[in-house]
Structure 1
Amino acid sequence: MSRANAPKRSRRTQTSGVALIMSDKKELHLRMRSIAIIPARGGSKRIPRKNIAPFGGRPAIARVIDAALASKVFETVVVSTDDDEIATVARRAGAQIVMRPPELSGDMTPMNPVILHAYEQMGADYDAIGLIFATAVFLTPELLRDASDRLAEDADLDYVLTLRRFETPPQRGLLCDEAGRVSMCDPSSLTTRTQDLTPIYRDAGMTTIGRTRAWLSGSHSFTARTFGLEVDALSAIDIDEPEDLAFAQALFEQRFSTRSTTRQSPPQTVILRADFFPGSGVGHVKRSNVLAKALANKGFRPILLLDAAARPMGFPFETSAAIRFLSADLDETADAAETVAIARADGASLVIRDSYRVGGIWEDDLTRAGMTVAAIDDLGDSKSAQLSITFTPGAKRPSNLEDTAHFLGGEAYMITDSPLLPARPRGRVLVHAGGTGGFDKVPAVIDAITQVTSKRDWDLTWLCPTPESASWLKTRNAIGKNDTVETWRSGAVWKDHDLIIGPASTSLYETIMQGALPVSFPISDTQGEPRDTWLNLGHALHIEAEEAKDQSFVERLLNFADEEHTPLRHLLTTYSKALDGKGADRVAQALADLMNGSPVPQPSNAPTTGTHIRPCTIADAERFRSARNAPLVRNVSTDPNHIIDWPEHLAWWLKTDAERFVIETDGQPEAYFWHRPRSHDGRNYMTAGWFPATDQPSLAATLRLLQWQHERTAQTHPDHIWVATIEATNKPGIALDKRMGFREAGPAAQAAAKAFWPGTDKRFLIFEKPAA
């Protein structure tokens, strides 16, 4: 049994012939040929015509057919009926009709002969048959997909059955004999707490999907190998009495017409304009598809409007909406005109842009045409959209956005259907270059991977979405004899590997969510986010564009990733908590609020004022490195010509016990500084360094940080002697040291300084400050 949307997966257990599996939904796309059969007699005695009773202005069976067709699980949806009116309603809703004979139309007719009759009448072979009940008006396409995927993923299963837990434990049931005397059904449960009783379930009466061979054999889902998929009580309402029908209709109206669930009746249509070309890859189409699914769950009717170049390709995921195509040769004005025409034809007033090919001109044209425009704004170029969304870590509101526009920024709004998975043991590495397979864009990175793999015991997989990408790797001699080459796949694609090397794109977020360690690099101009951005997520292994041309640099970073896998994973775990997989729902809710005139939640961006000292986080590490490398600093260092690159700096950050701090004024860094306890010849020393963040450091800020630093270490390390080196011509620095109580170092402190900083020579003075 699985509650739909349950957060965890665990092992299978067996209970009363029903396989119970606690699991979240897993998208498999192991496609079976499936047929849906919806039995719908016309002769219901207790509730006449209940199968076509109105729900939200639409007949019950039409609602069920809608869900079956929208699920895209079934090649064919069939209604088996003996009633002409039901047949007409079902046919108009998109189903095929099988008229059943009188001998299968009685109220005592078992279900299996009805199913088999309809199946045989269709005259085609299917792998699976889905029985769907005609009054299951709360059935969703997602539930049908979940049930189908469960069956597809487990070859041992015969059926998947929707279940509903008994509200009151049957173990508490009472029997009453003819004399009126009461006895317990299960006396052994008398003193057992209710929460300790084994849950018992009943058929929810929504759907049963089974293998055709199981149906044809006459096996019953209650006694076969069956997976139970639990649904909530308000989705599985038995409609047996007029009161049940009235309750179900009222609940349907409340659930699907109030803003609290944001599903509308009739649904609002929304256009999602996504591009597909080598500069964007399949990522925009995929995330627009995920957002379409979230919008459908909120009651919208989504339509994907894609570049025509996407038409011939088979997307490695199941689409969640109707699809229209536009020529990729249109300019922004023509594209906008075509988009408006399609939106008006489909009754849409909301259009979402997820495209690099169109921008401000397109948005202006749609706004003038009366459309509400939202933009997934990776490039920060949106101006007139009413809602701008970017999931760039640490994103701030763009200055060019209209004051009246709403803004959603940060990784909490990442649109993905990626599962959240735990980290895995080291050793399995996957390399990819996005949906277009652009390995040729980063030859030095590929060569570095080949070299490092030859020296490390890596199980390496190359993910090649096109024959050309695999061919290029072969001509580069990149694919080793023990390497694996796979074509593109979707879902939890990164789950089998612990190190993922690939572009800084949507896949980077999914890598983190699926428990792997990413090494990223740009393969297009649209992936130009600097390392600073990714450090907000705790992602410390980003290779910037110029660095990606340096094979030696990449090799050192890959080796570091392998050697320091655990602390690097810890950074991701610590800083990526907002990447929780709920971004699509948050964006869909904001869009629903926008269309309903409700307040759209805004992230807090309250400015920091005044001067403050705070501990550094990994998000400060790249700016800290820049300060260490500033000419002003290097000119007075022991090695002025040495530039500290990222692997060296990252090793210092993760592998030393230095404390690091930054002093900021009005949110802007003034200087970075560190201190670290060391020992030499049995004596305890305190070493430190500070680096201005600007070319003109503030004297007041410098004095404050030095005073704070010395007061702190006097409390944390009172027995440590301060030791410092300073270039002899650095008069301001010498004056500051003397002001802080330093004096010329004695022989012991001089020996310690030269051991700590081997480059210390006659150009430098050595000072010490006695312990507190």
Structure 2
Amino acid sequence: MTNILALIPARGGSKGIPRKNIRNFAGYPLIAWSIAAAKQSELVTRIIVSTDNEEIAAVAREWGAETPFLRPAEFAQDKTTDLPVFEHALKWLEDVEGYRPDIVIQLRPTSPIRPHTMVDDAIRILLEHPDADCVRGVVPAGQNPFKMWRFNGEGKPLNPLLTVDGIAEPYNAPRQILPPVYWQTGHIDAIRESTIANKKSLTGDVIYPLVIDPKYTVDIDTLPDWAKYEALVYSGLEMVSPGAARRPLPETVKMIICDFDGVVTDNLVITDQDGRESVTASRSDSMHIKKLREMGVEVMILSSEPNPVVMARAKKMGVEAIHNVGMQDKGRVMREILAQKNVKAQNVVYLGNDLNDLPCFEIAGWSVAVADAYPEVLRAADHVLTKTGGHGAIRELCEIILKQLSQKENTNGS
């Protein structure tokens, strides 16, 4: 049997995004996405996370990786390269366990969005080419290096970065006649152990490509990157996930059911000295309800909240509401509503934010969470909105469904 080790490097000293490797990304710790890619491989035989941080190690174990050692601090600095990290891990495994893999897979946590077969595709390329030292994931380059320049300082001439045989001035040439170029990504490297041990390199001399669809190009360095790529997760792109596969929006939607607290409201309550409670909500959430009703989509509220504010707000929005439902009864009541209205669960969208909404998520054809939903709800959702509860989340969902209805009308009319 070929021993194939997935090694995931995850140091604890991230400065750009504190605690980056265990921060929730689309409902799961960032490191869980790389662990999932290794776990779902048919060929990987062992998964280890190399970290200097016990908190990261604990999360890694929770999601299915081993952490048999903590990485020494000298191999976890800002300027530490990958090679000493891998050399340390392999030496420890051989010295302590007598374990020596044939192939080592590097899965960087900062490139969490991967196609389902990526890991095994890289391994198979390496196995099929005995001359290969490693396989590296690449995508078509967004910028062409033949049109780049070496900068020698202000007031000094530029020099072309690269030359091309047969083309005198590649920087003036059409892109179509220049050699194709590819950019390496952080998704995956498949490396022979002998390349690391004998050539003291993570690539060696003979590097084969695994060409990756550029829509998977992800490298998280900043918080804006984080939000941008979370949106990609919820776009419906097929990818490896630590949880269940997310379902697409049903082709036919007949009903939207919304929780109240944390969805219609911002989940806060104002209490006066006499114990009277009031909540805040967004007027914009009512904007599209009449139009949806005209197009055959009913909107209603299903809430555990006993306060009559639920009915008052529902009346103002022009929707039906059922409130004071037991915390454990929302799923049962939802089924009863669908039976009474003769609506199939597969044609229902449910919008929630907290744990008592999860039974409704299991029933609905499409489950949606507000942006500030509880982590377990974010994990279970098919889609996560950009808006938080009480700040236009319902309007955002209505606009998603209206867009689909409009596209269907245009298609049917053409």
Band the TM-score falls in, shorter-chain normalisation: 0.5 to 0.7
Provide the C-alpha distance between the structure 2 equivalents of 1:265 and 1:75, rounded to a whole number of angstroms.
Answer: 19
Letter in 2 for 1:185: L
Instruction: Give 3-state SS (helix, strand or coil) of 2:213's partner.
Output: coil
Instruction: Give 3-state SS (helix, strand or coil) of 1:44's partner.
Output: coil
- Tell me the alpha carbon deviations over residues 437-458 of structure 1, each in whole angstroms, 9 at most, x when there is no partner: xxxxxxxxxxxxxxxxxxxxxx
Higher RCO by CA contacts (8 Å cutoff, separation 6 or greater): 2
Q: Number of aligned pairs?
A: 240
Residue of structure 2 aligned with 1:120, choices 78, 85, 91? 91
Residue 184 of structure 2 is aligned to residue 203 of structure 1: yes
Residue of structure 2 aligned with 1:71, choices 37, 41, 65? 41
CA change 1:128–1:223 in 2 (3 A) is: closer
State the Cα distance separating 1:599 from its structure 2 match: 5.0
State the Cα distance separating 1:71 from its structure 2 match: 0.6
The equivalent residue for 2:161 is 185
When the two chains are superposed, the root-mean-square deviation of aligned CA atoms in Å is 2.6
Letter in 1 for 2:72: P
Letter in 1 for 2:106: L
Letter in 2 for 1:102: A
Instruction: Give 3-state SS (helix, strand or coil) of 2:9's partner.
Output: strand
Provide the C-alpha distance between the structure 2 equivalents of 1:247 and 1:200, rounded to a whole number of angstroms.
Answer: 25
The equivalent residue for 2:53 is 83
The equivalent residue for 2:221 is 240
Superposed counterparts of 1:524-543, under 5 Å: none
- Tell me the alpha carbon deviations over residues 104-124 of structure 1, each in whole angstroms, 9 at most, x when there is no partner: 111122211111222233331
The equivalent residue for 1:157 is 132
Task: For structure 1, list consecutive stretches of 5 or more residues without a partner in the other structure.
Answer: 1-30, 256-260, 270-594, 601-772
Provide the C-alpha distance between the structure 1 equivalents of 2:222 and 2:249, rounded to a whole number of angstroms.
Answer: 39
| Mapped contact 1:68–1:141 kept (Cα < 8 A) | no
Residue 14 of structure 2 is aligned to residue 39 of structure 1: no
CA change 1:158–1:40 in 2 (3 A) is: same
Provide the C-alpha distance between the structure 2 equivalents of 1:249 and 1:597, rounded to a whole number of angstroms.
Answer: 18
TM-score, normalised relative to structure 1 = 0.29
Instruction: Give 3-state SS (helix, strand or coil) of 1:85's partner.
Output: helix
State the Cα distance separating 1:182 from its structure 2 match: 5.9
The equivalent residue for 2:79 is 108
Provide the C-alpha distance between the structure 2 equivalents of 1:264 and 1:118, rounded to a whole number of angstroms.
Answer: 26
The equivalent residue for 1:518 is none
| Mapped contact 2:8–2:50 kept (Cα < 8 A) | yes
CA change 1:179–1:117 in 2 (3 A) is: closer
Residue of structure 1 aligned with 2:117, choices 122, 142, 153? 142
- Tell me the alpha carbon deviations over residues 658-714 of structure 1, each in whole angstroms, 9 at most, x when there is no partner: xxxxxxxxxxxxxxxxxxxxxxxxxxxxxxxxxxxxxxxxxxxxxxxxxxxxxxxxx
Superposed counterparts of 1:520-599, under 5 Å: 598=250
Letter in 1 for 2:216: S
Residue 165 of structure 2 is aligned to residue 215 of structure 1: no
Task: For structure 2, list consecutive stretches of 5 or more residues without a partner in the other structure.
Answer: 164-168, 253-414
State the Cα distance separating 1:67 from its structure 2 match: 1.1
CA change 1:65–1:192 in 2 (3 A) is: same
State the Cα distance separating 1:167 from its structure 2 match: 0.8
| Mapped contact 1:35–1:74 kept (Cα < 8 A) | yes
Provide the C-alpha distance between the structure 1 equivalents of 2:203 and 2:36, rounded to a whole number of angstroms.
Answer: 28
Residue of structure 2 aligned with 1:48, choices 18, 29, 36? 18
CA change 1:193–1:84 in 2 (3 A) is: same
| Mapped contact 1:35–1:78 kept (Cα < 8 A) | yes
State the Cα distance separating 1:85 from its structure 2 match: 1.3
CA change 1:221–1:113 in 2 (3 A) is: closer
Instruction: Give 3-state SS (helix, strand or coil) of 2:229's partner.
Output: helix
| Mapped contact 1:174–1:182 kept (Cα < 8 A) | no
State the Cα distance separating 1:134 from its structure 2 match: 1.6
State the Cα distance separating 1:239 from its structure 2 match: 1.8
| Mapped contact 1:160–1:210 kept (Cα < 8 A) | yes
Superposed counterparts of 1:69-468, under 5 Å: 69-97=39-67, 98-122=69-93, 123-180=98-155, 183=158, 184-186=160-162, 188-255=169-236, 261=237
| Mapped contact 1:115–1:131 kept (Cα < 8 A) | no
Whose strand proportion is higher, 1 or 2?
1
Identical residues among aligned pairs (%) = 31
CA change 1:139–1:87 in 2 (3 A) is: same
State the Cα distance separating 1:140 from its structure 2 match: 3.5
CA change 1:110–1:176 in 2 (3 A) is: closer
State the Cα distance separating 1:69 from its structure 2 match: 0.7
- Tell me the alpha carbon deviations over residues 462-516 of structure 1, each in whole angstroms, 9 at most, x when there is no partner: xxxxxxxxxxxxxxxxxxxxxxxxxxxxxxxxxxxxxxxxxxxxxxxxxxxxxxx
